[in-house]
């Protein structure tokens, strides 16, 4: 199996910064796209940013210019640097990874982390 473990959430004032990390471990043959999603209370889970294994990135319009996604392929880890945080960024942030498991004949599986709370006070 594959596990995604997130860290770095917390409480910050508006205008502040946080850095989220997500480490993938387990039976991984290859780690394809990784990303971050968020879900505010009573709302659906929305894409924040994604990054391919080759480093191509995609951002939601609401975070462009403020958030930066990156990854360390050697450590199977993805990061989300969040600057100029706003109260509307408050949500549970989930890590996502598209994985080919060892022995799975190139079948891709989608995994989610347990989520980390980010709260931005005004």
pLDDT one-digit tens code per residue, 66-83: 999 999 999 999 999 999
- What pLDDT score does 74 carry? 94
* 41 vs 75: CA distance, rounded Å: 32
Check residue 64 and report its DSSP letter: T
- Percent of the chain past pLDDT 90, that is, above it, reads 93
Closest to 20 in 3D by CA, of 60, 86, 62, 70: 70
- What pLDDT score does 104 carry? 82
Q: What is the pLDDT of residues 23-48, one digit of tens each?
A: 999 999 999 999 999 999 999 999 99
Q: How confident is the model at residue 105 (pLDDT cuts 50, 70, 90)?
A: confident
Closest to 85 in 3D by CA, of 45, 58, 48, 46: 48
- What pLDDT score does 106 carry? 84
């Amino acid at each position: 199996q594959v596990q995604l473990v997130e860290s770095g959430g917390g409480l910050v004032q508006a205008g502040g910064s946080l850095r989220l990390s997500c480490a993938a471990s387990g039976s991984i043959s290859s780690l394809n796209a990784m990303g971050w999603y968020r879900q505010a209370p009573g709302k659906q889970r929305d894409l924040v940013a994604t990054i391919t294994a080759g480093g191509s990135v995609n951002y939601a319009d609401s975070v462009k210019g403020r958030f930066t996604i990156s990854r360390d392929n050697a450590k199977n880890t993805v990061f989300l640097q969040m600057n100029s945080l706003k109260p509307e960024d408050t949500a549970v942030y989930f890590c996502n990874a598209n994985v080919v498991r060892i022995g799975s004949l190139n079948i891709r599986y989608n995994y989610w982390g347990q989520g980390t709370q980010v709260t931005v006070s005004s």
